[in-house]
Amino acid sequence: MEIAGYLASLVIGISLGLIGGGGSILTVPVLVYLFGVNPVVATAYSLFIVGATSLVGAFPKYKAGEVNLKTAVIFGIPSIAAVYATRAFIVPAIPQHIISIGSFELTKPLMMMILFAILMVFASISMIREKKCVDCPEEPQVFNYPLILLEGAVVGVLTGLVGAGGGFLIIPALVLLSKLPMKQAVGTSLLIIAAKSLLGFTGDLGKTSMDWTLLLSVSGLAIAGIFVGNVLSKKVSASSLKKGFGWFVLVMGIYIIIKELFLMLVDIKDRLSFNSYS
């Protein structure tokens, strides 16, 4: 399982290099199911892995003129503030046992995995959906400040809760709200993801015991993967890869929902059997 986990770590980086997002949505499932990390801890680990990988990947994009710093700052400030506040205050405030209805008990890890899986499903739809216009002429950049600030804050909260970079949300926002060309949106997205993920991760320092050997190993492989992704992005159709990856994420999201609900039903059955026996 660990070998599969390390191979999947490469895929995380390759996806980030190719399409500027998507790979981060795999990090938590890889950590939870292949490395056996607790779901809540996995969201913190994911922030570091995704942040470090995206930061390294943003440098070649910046050199190629594919990072818009003004847009990164406008979108990034509310996003960074939201993700830090979420990790530092909201996540620790969520109780381990949220609600109990009869034999059903919603725990913090279960809630976070279900929320993450739902986010995966929505992410996959945005990646699978065909664009109405592929080679549209570039429009002049126009900033819709209120919507950009709001979108940044919403993405920040989601990032803090589930440990995903949110590239699948950031890129459409940059294209639609800031009128960025697709390549600039991908590069700018990597810089935003890096800043908010790494700063959000600092909200967990001192509160979560870190396995730095695992963190650095997975991060190193993901960073290697992002260089591969950058090279492939120049040779392979990003649109077809994005769609294929979207289908993969959709299957993963549905699998997680079914798996977590199955485990929950098994737990309820065991409790009912224990109570009837008692």
- Summarised one tens digit per residue, pLDDT across range 26-41 is 788 889 889 988 888 8
The residue length of the chain stands at 278
* Mean pLDDT score across all residues of the chain: 79
Annotated domain spans of the chain: 2-95+125-236
pLDDT of residue 238: 59
Quickly state the pLDDT bin for 222 (edges 50, 70, 90). very high
Greater confidence (195 vs 133) lies with 195
pLDDT at 171 over 80: no
39 phi/psi in degrees, rounded to 5: -55, -40
- Is the pTM above the cut of 0.75? no
- Token code pair at residue 78: 């509310």
Neighbour tally for 169: CB within 10 Å: 23
Interacting residues of 102 by C-beta distance below 8 A, sequence separation 6+: none
pLDDT digits (tens, 9 = 90+) for 109-166: 788 778 878 877 877 787 677 665 544 555 566 667 787 788 888 878 877 777 666 6
Give residues with Cβ within 8 angstroms of 71, minimum separation 6.
141, 143, 148, 174, 178, 180, 188
What is residue 134's predicted lDDT score, i.e. its pLDDT? 46
Task: Return the minimum-mean-pLDDT range out of 22-36, 167-181, 222-236.
Answer: 167-181
